Structure 1
Amino acid sequence: MVRDQPNHRLAALLGEAGWSAAELARAVNGLGAAQGLPLRYDRTSVAHWLAGSRPRSPVPTLVASAFSRRSGRLITAEETGLAHYGADDPLPPHQSRRDDVLDRLTALCRADTDPTRRIPLAGSAYSLVAATAPAWGGGRPVGAAPARVPALVPRATAADLRRMQWMILAFADLMERHGGAHARTALTIYVADDTGGVLAAPALPSLRRELFTGAGQLTHLLGRMSMDAGHQGLAQHYFTASLELAREGDDRRLYAITLRAMSLQALHLGFVQHAWQLADAAVDTAGPRTDPSTRAFLLSQRGLTHAHARRRREAVKDLASAEAQHDRASGPAGPFTLYPRAGLDYQRGRALLALGDPVQAARALETAAGARAGDRHRSSALTRARLAETLLAQGRLEESCVHWDVFLDHYPYLRSATADRALRQLRTSLRGFRHQPHAAAVLRRARSLTPRPRRRPP
């Protein structure tokens, strides 16, 4: 830790929030736990910060997020007086000064695959400031070739685009089968090397736009995989890069889908109002003329955020609209083309839970679970876990254990921090029923499976 003058900024924020030092410490610990960072700060730690000590990254970002949630306004790490002015950023110092999205994406992927830089990057915290995405303003004109590329460099072709599209399908499939932590590094290397090389090559403007869209979809997948692997700050970096690539490709649909993913992440971490703002921006960006499947996908997320904000009428309206749009949807199956019905039912079940209707929520989740493909281990496992929790809360222990058992069937195939968290929840939820035969059998199975260890606190 670095000693400095008394931190008057932090003291002022504590006064504005009406928090004691212990309350701030608990809020920071809670935010850290949601992001896989087991922190153990207390009032003494905050007293040291007030005296001038500065905790290491990503704690200043977590402190800013805690104050932002408390005050209802956006507060940056710099405003807390705890930031190290550049030292907290695990990315190369030049990255923030480069205007070229390809350069920034390549630098991010290089840092992510560098063993010395990956650890702080993977452990970086989610930032509300970074999650504030600019409104869609249309794509910039795309030239036939970057000015820095010599004329004799081979041109990009339609075959490059088809190869990229195949890789999108392949990695999306791998994530659904085995979780976000599986093959994530392979995708990072592919984006840095193969995709970067294709985008740097000369191409006709129409093809170049499609190549940027493909690169944006791959980067979007990297964001989702990083999020599922428990790297929340890193996922934000990739989602931001995906937005930039969508803008370069003049693809407002991909821009909206990425805003939706960012909303899902914010909601997962407990930032309900921010999640709603992102979901609302996603619906507005896509507009009413977007294809029905995409509109259903976006409306279902906004409906879920309404539900968590206890806005029942708005939630019901969005979910009903999503269902009506889904009924009109058609097109080829794919991660960016068709919203599966099971996904819509899963969102509806989550929304009904948030609205305090567990019986109807269980029915929606049962429908979703029945429609999940057995080899899609991630979505199947997470749906079963959510359903098991919902049934247990209603006192339906035996039914809950049936679904926990199916979750355990899927779990060994997964490398996913989300699934690890569900396994820990299973053990916690059933511990009080350990003398009941059904629960005891599930707990015995669960004990033989070990979640991946959490990262050490900074």
Structure 2
Amino acid sequence: MAMDERLDGLASRYYVKALELARIAGDELTFCTTLRGMSVMHGDLGDGPTASRLAQSASAASPKAGPRMRAFLAGQEAHAAAITGDRSLALLRIKQAEAAMEKAESQAKALGSYDPSALHYHISQVRYELGDMAGAIESMQQSHQIREPAFRRTRVRYGGMLAERKFKAGRFEEAFADWHRMLDEYPLIQSGRADDRFREMKTLIQPYLGNRGARELHERTMPVS
């Protein structure tokens, strides 16, 4: 919750305490999941080397993990490696995540766990960091299409990211439509990271207010602002 609200210092303290408690309890699953969460936070902050180190530590801390957990960890390793520009490691880990997910999906599915939608998100992030904008958009679109309806905050955040990438690729009308869908649900959630996407949308469209679609979005955000 602290991380989602962009209270990164507080989130770090909670993460460190979670590691301590997990170590005392001998809880391998919580220990490696916490390391992965720390990696996600540092990746969001643009600290690729720390994100990569933490992601690798998370994988090393769970040698007996099942296929879904391996996909969960390898996906984050891939994203962190891509942030640092390590293309070969990023592609290797994403292939491992895909293989593990395929095996996991052939078994009983655990509700709320790492799923194909989350994997497509990681593939999108890897493609984006490695400069493949078209591929990043395609994978994020796939992730969005199969995401469970219950995950509203995730849908708002990642929907905003999808719109941003389409906008930067010159696919304005698609971006406007995605942003409108984001705004349908944005007032219903509380999330600092979703707020980031809202602010980024306003920044991107500001120079284009002569465009009818951008102007309509801008006018719609006025009551929200």
TM-score normalized by the length of structure 2: 0.95
Which residue does 1:326 correspond to in 2? 101
Q: Distance in 1 between matches of 2:109 and 2:96?
A: 22
Q: Distance in 2 between matches of 1:265 and 1:334?
A: 24
Structure 1: tracts of 5 or more residues without a match:
1-224, 451-458
Do residues 252 (structure 1) and 28 (structure 2) align?
A: yes
Do residues 264 (structure 1) and 40 (structure 2) align?
A: yes
Q: Distance in 2 between matches of 1:344 and 1:325?
A: 10
Deviation at 1:331, TM superposition (A): 4.0
Aligned with residue 280 of structure 1, among 50, 56, 63: 56
Which residue does 1:433 correspond to in 2? 208
Q: CA RMSD in A?
A: 1.2
Indicate how the Cα distance of structure 1 residues 373 and 334 shifts in structure 2: closer, same or farther if over 3 A, else same: closer
Indicate how the Cα distance of structure 1 residues 445 and 373 shifts in structure 2: closer, same or farther if over 3 A, else same: farther
Q: Distance in 2 between matches of 1:442 and 1:378?
A: 20
Aligned with residue 301 of structure 1, among 76, 80, 84: 76
Deviation at 1:334, TM superposition (A): 4.0
Residues 46 and 83, structure 2, Cα contact 8 Å, conserved in 1: no
Q: Distance in 2 between matches of 1:449 and 1:372?
A: 26
Which residue does 2:187 correspond to in 1? 412
Deviations 1:224-268 (A, max 9, x none): x11001211111111112112211221212211110000011111
Deviations 1:326-364 (A, max 9, x none): 1111445345xx312111111111111000000011000
Do residues 352 (structure 1) and 114 (structure 2) align?
A: no
Give the 5 Å matches for 1:18-417.
Answer: 225-287=1-63, 289-329=64-104, 330-335=107-112, 338-417=113-192
Letter in 2 for 1:308: I
Residues 85 and 130, structure 2, Cα contact 8 Å, conserved in 1: yes
Q: Distance in 1 between matches of 2:133 and 2:180?
A: 21
Deviation at 1:379, TM superposition (A): 0.7
Max radius of gyration: which structure? Answer: 1
Identity of aligned residues (%): 30
Structure number with higher helix proportion: 2
Secondary structure at the aligned position of 1:418 is classed as: helix
Q: Distance in 2 between matches of 1:398 and 1:345?
A: 23
Secondary structure at the aligned position of 2:75 is classed as: helix
Q: Distance in 1 between matches of 2:61 and 2:103?
A: 20
Provide the aligned length of Structure 1 versus Structure 2.
223
